[in-house]
Amino acid sequence: MKTIEIGGHQETIIERSDFPIEKCHEILKDEVTAILGYGPQGRGQGLNMRDQGFRVIIGIRKGRSWDKAVADGWQEGVNLFEVEEAAKRGTILQYLLSDAGQISSWPTVKANLEPGNALYFSHGFGIVFNEDTQIVPPDNVDVMLVAPKGSGLTVRTHFEAGRGINSSWAVHQDATGRAKERCIATAFAIGSGHLFETTFADETHSDLTGERCVLMGLIQGAFLAQYEVLRENGHSPSEAFNETIEEALQSLYPLVSEKGMDWMYSNCSTTAQRGALDWAPRFRDALKPVVAECYQKVISGEEAKIAIESNSKSDYREKLELELEAVNNQEMWQAGRVLRALRPENLVE
């Protein structure tokens, strides 16, 4: 374990060397992990646990996700079951259905929780906003969280590449006295890199804000704003896309990931440096009030209510597909489909 200090704040980082996989096997030797849901997180975490030799089963309804699980090698009646049956068989229930799916399945899951079981989440939404979700676990089970800082696809691909994706962890309720070790062992069993501690509330509030802002909402809005300004001023789709997205994702952002923003700046021209340093404070001043407004709506529960109401409608999936198609049909992303195919690695000799 490593203690770090940033800005006067100390925290403990748990590394894989602290919990080698043999130790995780010992901690979880009597456990059956039932992963309820086979979306991106359920699939990624489940396959990683299976590949590392843990006792893991999948619980899903028959349909598209079931067929995907079968294609991935899960076997009906062996390690693939309907949700209720998997919940009965598991001692650690990884509740990885969508937020709306968790709400609708909660009565079934709650009825099958046994004293001493552990209820595991990868997002604290259902617990934090329990007045809306009605997800209130009984007091005789452990309640814990491991939240990978990336998509379920990344959880899987990082594992396959021999890397781990960083995760936060939290214990909301320790009924057995073993919740912490069960949580941390499971975190490394699913392929985490290092772990940092959080709370259910902090994870939920930061996650919802991040998704709406820098991770997804803000970046789509920023990309589109610059692309449209360039196009409205006569620049070609190719030029507008390359200057807005291709150069960012393929050249500059990897430098930020590697060593930080100053490293990226130092590897650009002096003209670029000057412009970035001058304009960054203006964007910060313009955007911070919007991010602050978003955060307040998250912690007030307003965003949760919007999500629950929207996701619970019978036609939600159809409307979502229309919204995503509208994004897909924006000229900016049409240009992307054409131009990505021209990347050297995508050209066929």
Q: Which residues are catalytic?
A: 123
At CA 181, angle to CA 180 and CA 182, rounded to 5? 90
- Distance separating alpha carbons of residues 266 and 255, to the nearest angstrom: 10
Residue 303, phi then psi, degrees to nearest 5 = -65, -35
- Determine the straight-line distance between the first and last CA of the chain, rounded to whole angstroms: 49
Nearest Cα neighbor of 46 from 32, 57, 30 is 57
Tokens of 15: 């590394």
Torsion of CA 331, 337, 341, 344, to 10 degrees: 70
**Coil, strand or helix at 172:** strand
Measured CA distances, 279 to 248, 283, 292 (Å): 17, 6, 20
- Distance separating alpha carbons of residues 36 and 33, to the nearest angstrom: 9
